């Protein structure tokens, strides 16, 4: 019984994390998210500011996605009834946010690697240009080598 509940915990957290991340970070929801960001900062009513903020924060939004999934699956953890539902809900939020943190770190590492590759390509191109013979006063000569980091 507990083994099945733990498997459900780790599997059910995947769609929760996916939906929460997509709504709060991905380009497909950029326009409504930007509207919510503006309203969360500029709306004159505190309650509305907080409601709009929920759609901009993956942690906050994951609670509501979790409630939705708990209501359609009836998932409980450790105990039956509302106590198991409450424990399961907070466990799902925690696991889903752990997944989203791992995903964010992975995306950051990939972006850093792409940036490094692009920088290396620029360095190689500049080195190739420096090593090509150039014409100065009708004579072929090599360009003066300088520290390539200063040129970028």
Mean pLDDT of 77-104: 95
Give the pair of three-digit tokens for residue 80: 């039956």
Domain assignments of the chain as residue spans, ordered by start: 2-107
The rounded distance, in Å, linking the Cα atoms of 122 and 120 is 5
pLDDT at position 130: 77
DSSP annotation of 29 reads: G
Q: Are 52 and 39 in contact (CB under 8 A)?
A: yes
Cα–Cα distances in Å, from 26 out to 52, 58, 124? 17, 11, 33
pLDDT band at 137 (very low <50, low <70, confident <90, very high): low
Neighbours of 51 (CB within 10 A): 14
What is the pLDDT averaged over residues 122-142?
69
Share of the chain above pLDDT 70, in %: 86
Q: How many CA atoms lie within 13 A of 29 on its CB side?
A: 14
CA–CA dist 39, 35 (Å, integer): 6
Distances in Å between the alpha carbon of 112 and those of 108, 117, 119, 151? 6, 9, 11, 21
Give CA 110 to chain center in angstroms.
12
Is residue 53 a contact partner of residue 36, using CB atoms and an 8 Å limit? yes
> What was the pLDDT predicted at 151?
53
Per-residue pLDDT at 149 exceeds 70: no
Tokens of 10: 């780790």
């Amino acid at each position: 019984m507990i083994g099945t509940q733990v498997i459900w915990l780790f599997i059910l957290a995947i769609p929760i994390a996916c939906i929460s991340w997509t709504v709060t970070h991905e380009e497909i929801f950029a326009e409504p998210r930007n509207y919510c960001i503006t309203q969360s900062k500029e709306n004159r009513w505190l309650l509305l500011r907080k409601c709009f903020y929920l759609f901009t924060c993956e942690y906050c939004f994951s609670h509501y996605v979790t409630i939705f999934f708990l209501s359609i699956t009836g998932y409980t953890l450790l105990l039956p009834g509302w106590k198991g539902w409450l424990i399961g809900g907070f466990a799902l939020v925690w696991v889903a946010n752990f997944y989203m943190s791992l995903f964010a770190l992975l995306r950051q590492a990939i972006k850093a690697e792409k940036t490094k590759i692009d920088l290396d390509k620029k360095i190689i191109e500049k080195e190739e240009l420096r090593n090509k013979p150039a014409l100065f006063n009708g004579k072929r000569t090599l360009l003066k080598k300088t520290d390539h980091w200063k040129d970028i």
